[in-house]
A and B are shown apart, each in its own frame.
Chain A
Amino acid sequence: SAVISQKPSRDICQRGTSLTIQCQVDSQVTMMFWYRQQPGQSLTLIATANQGSEATYESGFVIDKFPISRPNLTFSTLTVSNMSPEDSSIYLCSVLEGDTQYFGPGTRLTVL
């Protein structure tokens, strides 16, 4: 099974700033996914990132707010831009290996 690491594991940020979250996978994967889990809620897909192409964003999420990079088959970054307290969530990186979806440990973001 894929092993996924994320950095940072948690952060506390000021309103109006940006944070970049890194995701590293121990194997090459075609698609990487970024999810958000708001307090008390389930997971919501932000975007799908394929290497060498623009990320595909879900309804309600835009590239200016959540720019994503995918420079190679094992790495991706998600930036949360111009943060507000409503962005306080756990952000999770995920990959699909065969039919099974695997998740990283998550980044817990608190925006003050």
Chain B
Amino acid sequence: KQEVTQIPAALSVPEGENLVLNCSFTDSAIYNLQWFRQDPGKGLTSLLLIQSSQREQTSGRLNASLDKSSGRSTLYIAASQPGDSATYLCAVRSEKLVFGKGTKLTVNP
């Protein structure tokens, strides 16, 4: 059974800092991995999708990496802004999409 873990559960940083969010999964037989953003009480916004054959994907200030063999992914956020404050969820797709519990990010002005 696939299990997804995200560390840390919460992170508070000053504006402008570069940061890394971590995601690990137990079964490396995945099709892809997706990072989402969730604002309080809201739905999920897709940020990046990495196929199992890819090593990384970039979108603006976001860069996601995937090391399938070790069961790890990271989401790198450059030059963080207060508007980046949200919960970031990692999800891996094997037979179905399995989510981690997320990392709650607070970027302080």
Contact = CB atoms under 8 A, between A and B. Distances in A.
B51 A42 contact: no
Given A41-B101, A42-B101, A101-B91, A108 B46 contact: no
A42 B31 contact: no
A43 B38 CA distance: 11
Chain A: interface secondary structure?
strand
Contacts of B93: 99, 101
What interface size band does chain B fall in?
Answer: 20 to 34
Contacts of B36: 103
B89 interface: yes
Contact of A100 (B41, B49, B89, B96): B49
Interface of A: 1, 4, 6, 41-43, 45, 90, 92, 99-106, 108
A99 B58 CA distance: 17
Nearest to A105: B43
Interface string B20-47: 0000000000011010100001111110
A99 B32 CA distance: 8
A100 B99 contact: no
B34 A101 contact: yes
A43 B46 contact: no
Looking at B42, B43, B96, B97, the one whose CB has the most chain A CB atoms below 10 A away is B43
A79 to B, nearest CB: 20
**Nearest 6 A/B pairs, CB to CB:** A103-B44, A105-B43, A42-B99, A106-B43, A42-B101, A103-B43
A29 to B, nearest CB: 15
B71 interface: no
27 contacts: A1-B46, A4-B43, A42-B4, A42-B99, A42-B100, A42-B101, A42-B102, A43-B44, A43-B91, A43-B99, A45-B96, A90-B41, A99-B32, A99-B49, A99-B51, A100-B46, A101-B34, A101-B46, A101-B91, A103-B36, A103-B43, A103-B44, A103-B46, A105-B42, A105-B43, A106-B42, A106-B43
